[in-house]
Chains A and B, each alone.
Chain A
Amino acid sequence: DIQMTQSPASLSASLEEIVTITCQASQDIGNYLSWYQQKPGKSPQLLIHSATSLADGVPSRFSGSRSGTQYSLKINRLQVEDTGIYYCLQHYSAPLTFGSGTKLEIK
């Protein structure tokens, strides 16, 4: 199974700050990596697909990048509504695997 190591587990940042969340894949998964945001009591919402493509309706302050088997989600100019838990997902091969999640809070 492909392991997705996500860091950090939690993050507290100020408004307008830039934050970065990373996922390290245990093997090559190409661009089969997506990012999701989950708010309390809600289902996850797609932010980034294909490692770097912004999903429809997602603010442009979110971006994704890839360096080898390391994937990053960057949030520019952090806003209050960006609080939540962020997950990566590899959909290169079954079993599909999620990262362990990053809880993002505003200072």
Chain B
Amino acid sequence: AQSVSQHNHHVILSEAASLELGCNYSYGGTVNLFWYVQYPGQHLQLLLKYFSGDPLVKGIKGFEAEFIKSKFSFNLRKPSVQWSDTAEYFCAVIPLGNNRLAFGKGNQVVVIP
């Protein structure tokens, strides 16, 4: 079964700092990759997704992620965070032809004003 690893579960940073969250997956075949965000008390929302093509994908709210196939990674970045980016961030992977979505353990991000 595929697994998804997210490191540094708790991240605390100041406004305007840059954010990078790592995501690695263990699956040898073709996968589709997602980052979801869950703001306090809200539902999971899709930030961005990668299926094919340009490995640098841009999502909502200034987030971007880069797929590096050789490293089995899909890291999320934002150059300058805001207090409103305080949330839980989940990386998720689904193998092609499968509808079993595997989540990482998540990153709790707290942005201090």
Q: Is the A/B pair a real complex?
A: no
